[in-house]
Amino acid sequence: MKLIHLIFVIFYIPAIAYGQKPYTLKIIEIGNKGVLKQISYSTQLSTIQESEKEMKNVLYAIWELSFITARYDSLCLDSNSTTAYLNTGEKHKWASLKNGNVEESILNSIGYRSKLWNNRKLKYSEVENLQEKILKWCENNGYPFASIHLDSISFIDEQTISAKLFIEKKRRTKIDSIEIKGNLNLSKSFLLNYIGILSGDAYDESKLQATSKRIEELSFTKETKPYTILFTEKYTKLTLFLDKKRASQLDGILGFQPDSRTGKIVFTGDARLRLQNSFAHGEIIEFNWRRLQEATQDLKAHFNYPFVFNTPVGIDYDIKLYRRDTSFIDINQTLSFQYLFSANTWLNAFVKRRSSNLLSTYGLESITVLPQIADISKTSYGLGFYREQLDYRFNPRKGYSINISSDIGNRIIQKNSKLNPIIYETVQLKSTQVSGTFIISKFWPVGKRSTIKSEIQSAGLFNTGIIFKNELLRIGGLKNLRGFDEESIFASFYTTGTIEYRFQLEQNSWFFLFADGAWYENNSNGKYTNDTPYSFGTGLTFESKAGIFALTYALGSQQGNSIQFKDGKIHVGYIGLF
């Protein structure tokens, strides 16, 4: 009889149905063992349905205390109350919970060890959790209709139980076909590689549950309704409902800043064209022109092509031309091979080629030591990692992103025929150079409409020989230190920090207050300097039918100077989608 009763209470809780009248719930423990005193429950309830639910919750809680045969022996009802008589039974423990017919590979993957169940307290939730883990493994490995149960249940004595785990996996299920409905113009091979589900793959519930989230992270498509799965005796079909969405961007930023020498207002600019999925393979083509300061400009071009030949490998190419007034010109090229774990997580291996050359040697023909700027070339090899977990990429309220990269290579000083050759006689022309970058951002939701953004950026350049000015890292401006001229601060190593409060007006509109700070050092040309610049300011980003506009005002201080309102920086930005 005990065996029948145990199976009954573990796998079935009877529904209790009564008329719908407000009443008081009272539970009386038979035998006065004091078990009920360990459970808190509501005695004043507004409806009969709430009372039924509360009685079930009490029974679950008693089972968690190892009184697995607990039950209600009888009930007394009147017009406004219910009295339940609870028989807790004896406290039980496991003698053993052994494997019946479950594959060892499944049990190992979920961390099951039979010896851990010997002489263990018998808790209903632990048995339930173990069964759920086994079923989840089956759902993620081609067996969505599997079932698990306890069998060979026996009482060793009045308080000790043994049992075995048995599984029925049923038929193995594969995704036989995948259909895409909607007006999205996109390579099917790209999309299937992107979501990680291919025709012929074993059914995987975890990948299916992640499908909507991963599609949401694609900027050029939207899910019109949730996916469907059709199961038949002969095949299993996945259907996705996707429409195209505007994702290509035309961005523009116009800046105003006073010239440090003349005091006149100088216009700076930043224009970007970003084409996404133009050739229906999820590719990115990007051009970016900037006028950072008077007579200083740079031009970038970027190309990214994911899932080459239907593999998780993507190709990324980047080229940047930077001209610093009449001093020097930089040409940087990077070719990367990315291994895509998902749309927002990848590992990449890359090769970088850099050349930097003097634009003018006027006044340098007779010098006997190397100038601050030299003709150099460098080829390096490196690795990088990127991961992003944001609830909404453009204006996140919670989540994080992390970007790490490092490279090593040989830096060569090229002899300039227009300079005095004596300057190269005592100089190490070939040396090893190492560089690295680390960026982490975290978004903390505050209330219903506010967010705190925190960010740390750090980068360094290390060389066995002398470092020249035109090799140095450049910080300042909208990317990492607002309130300063774009890329106006030269550093061999820096760390910047940002704290920003955002109040969300709409999905793509927000007001913000921020504070930026940095520590950097410059050890170029045999000299050493450092500083701790900081800035603060406010701004507004808002969306209209014409696009997304951004306005920022910032004040900054460096070298211990006081804040000067006349040196404030105003930046106006625009993003247009098409």
* Exposed e or buried b per residue across 548-563, where buried means at least 16 C-beta atoms within 10 angstroms of its C-beta: bbbebebbbbbeeeee
Residues 191 and 316 in one domain: no
Mean local confidence (pLDDT), 352-380: 92
For residue 448, count other CB atoms closer than 10 A to its CB: 7
What sign results for the dihedral spanned by CA atoms 459, 335, 396, 288?
positive
Most confidently modeled of 23-32, 494-503, 556-565? 494-503
Give strand pairing partners of 461. Answer: 435
515 close to 539: Cβ distance less than 8 angstroms: no
Q: Which domain holds residue 407?
A: 249-577
* Domains identified in the chain, total number: 4
Q: pLDDT-derived band of residue 2, with 50, 70 and 90 as boundaries?
A: very low
Residue with tokens 């070339």: 377
CA distance 229 to 174: 11
- In this prediction, residue 268 carries a pLDDT of 75
CA distance 42 to 58: 10
Helix, strand, coil shares, percent, the chain, to 5: 15, 50, 35
- In this prediction, residue 479 carries a pLDDT of 81
Q: Give the pLDDT confidence of 437-481 residue by residue, as tens digits.
A: 999 999 999 999 999 999 999 999 999 889 999 999 999 987 889
CATH number at residue 113: 3.10.20.310
Residues 235 and 254 in one domain: no
Of 330, 325, 332, the C-alpha closest to 292 is 325
CA distance 132 to 111: 13
Residues 358 and 504 in one domain: yes
pTM recorded for the entire structure: 0.76
Residues 7 and 76 in one domain: yes
Residues 181 and 267 in one domain: no
CATH number at residue 181: 3.10.20
Q: Report helix angle 48-64 to 124-139, nearest 10.
A: 90
Residue 282 exposed, middle or buried by CB count within 10 Å (0-12, 13-18, 19+): buried
For residue 502, count other CB atoms closer than 10 A to its CB: 22
Between β-strands 81-87 and 93-99, what pairing exists: parallel, antiparallel or unpaired?
unpaired
| pLDDT for residue 22 is more than 80 | no
Structure tokens given for 107: 């049990």
Residue where a domain terminates, one of 87, 112, 139: 87
3-state secondary structure 290-320: EEEECCEEEEEEEEEECCHHHCCEEEEEEEE
Residues 64 and 117 in one domain: no
403 close to 437: Cβ distance less than 8 angstroms: yes
Residue where a domain terminates, one of 30, 63, 87: 87
CATH number at residue 336: 2.40.160.50
Residues 126 and 272 in one domain: no
**CB proximity list for 226: less than 8 A, separation 6 or greater:** 212, 241
Residues 319 and 445 in one domain: yes
Q: Give the pLDDT confidence of 94-126 residue by residue, as tens digits.
A: 999 999 999 999 999 999 999 999 989 888 899
Residues 408 and 275 in one domain: yes
Sequential DSSP letters for 326-393:
TTEEEEEEEEEEEEEEETTEEEEEEEEEEEEEES--TT-TT-SS--SS--EEEEEEEEEEEEEEESSS
Residues 257 and 160 in one domain: no
Residue where a domain terminates, one of 244, 260, 286: 244
202 close to 173: Cβ distance less than 8 angstroms: yes
Structure letter (DSSP) for residue 53: H
Residues 101 and 71 in one domain: no
Mean local confidence (pLDDT), 405-431: 93
- In this prediction, residue 258 carries a pLDDT of 67
Q: Report the phi/psi class of residue 487: left, alpha or beta, with left for phi > 0 and alpha for psi in -120 to 50.
A: left
Measure Cα distances from 495 to 159, 489, 518, 532 in Å. Answer: 63, 13, 6, 10
Of 202, 141, 144, the C-alpha closest to 168 is 144
Residues 425 and 362 in one domain: yes
Q: Give the pLDDT confidence of 83-93 residue by residue, as tens digits.
A: 999 999 888 99
Q: Give the pLDDT confidence of 278-327 residue by residue, as tens digits.
A: 999 999 999 999 886 777 889 999 999 999 988 899 999 999 999 988 89
Worst-scoring range by mean pLDDT, 32-36, 334-338, 387-391? 32-36
Between β-strands 534-544 and 509-522, what pairing exists: parallel, antiparallel or unpaired?
antiparallel
